[in-house]
Structure 1
């Protein structure tokens, strides 16, 4: 038999915090339907009312009719569907919780790396106060180095020339 839930086990406030503004009306409609369903379920008794067979035996004149109905009613068994999915959901929850823990650890590591990078950036001179040498020291890969690596305007890789192309240009 299904178990009766005493009250809602859903933390609606925690879910509401994660719902985007555009989805709030859908969320509120879903919550209203869920609350309505819960109220309807709690309005009904947990078990069916018991028949007063003695009352029916006393008031129905046909002999044996109530006994026959009582015997058939008590032998009637309506199978409640077996729960095949809870164990699968719980196993999946355990797998996902391991993945979540791993993701949280990796995220915390990324946060630490980004905070260290932010600390490094904040310790640098502001760009307005930097000289070209300061910029080259801070960002050696991005700095303009005309002697080591000459470039031509507009200084993008797709416009860069190979040594052969440079020789050909010099001959012209």
Structure 2
């Protein structure tokens, strides 16, 4: 195994652990990224770890007229250092912002889950105190199913047997808040 392949092998991705953490909808993307990574690793494994060595002394003997140019090329060639694994600061900044965003989403999700658990506990407590369904009467339906059953003796609702949403807005109550019948001129008020 070449030196370049050793460097890539030490920083390889644990695909099975990544597959466990992803949702099944992202399996295709994971397979695609895995293929691209495999292609990259096979290309890198064929390359040597370092730049090839050039015998500048032999070149200077073969081309004595160009020794100044060869000296300049030798200095430039030896000064070439290709760092491995350095990520530009801009990309690291974007990754940090993305991590902060995802952490905020996770915290929000945790808060929503905690609220949902509290609501579920309230519902479970309500149903734990409820009588058996065989013993339900009209008052129980109003208490346990308030969206579908109502008691007009104490609830300020309009009967809505067709479920067209009369109680969802206050428009009908505002429209008919004065229950007096409007007088019409052609009506005779003699009875």
TM-score exceeds 0.5 = yes
Q: 1:135 aligns with which of 141, 148, 153?
A: 141
Question: In the alignment, does 2:88 pair up with 1:83?
Answer: yes
Q: Which whole-Å CA distance do the structure 1 matches of 2:120 and 2:67 have between them?
A: 81
Question: In the alignment, does 2:38 pair up with 1:35?
Answer: yes
Runs of 5+ unmatched residues, structure 1? none
Q: Which whole-Å CA distance do the structure 1 matches of 2:92 and 2:112 have between them?
A: 30
Q: 1:116 aligns with which of 114, 117, 121?
A: 121
Q: Which whole-Å CA distance do the structure 1 matches of 2:110 and 2:160 have between them?
A: 45
Q: Which whole-Å CA distance do the structure 2 matches of 1:164 and 1:103 have between them?
A: 43
Does 1 or 2 have the higher relative contact order (CA < 8 Å, sep 6+)? 2
Q: Which whole-Å CA distance do the structure 1 matches of 2:38 and 2:132 have between them?
A: 56
Q: Which whole-Å CA distance do the structure 1 matches of 2:178 and 2:111 have between them?
A: 47
Q: Which whole-Å CA distance do the structure 1 matches of 2:69 and 2:135 have between them?
A: 101
| Equivalent pair of 1:57/1:66 in contact (CA under 8 Å) | yes
* 1:68 aligned residue: 69
Q: Which whole-Å CA distance do the structure 2 matches of 1:70 and 1:139 have between them?
A: 91
State the number of aligned residues.
Answer: 162
- RMSD between aligned residues: 3.9
What's the offset of the Cα at 1:75?
2.9
Q: 1:90 to 1:84 in 2, by over 3 A?
A: same
* 1:45 aligned residue: 48
What's the offset of the Cα at 1:48?
0.4
Q: Which whole-Å CA distance do the structure 2 matches of 1:88 and 1:105 have between them?
A: 26
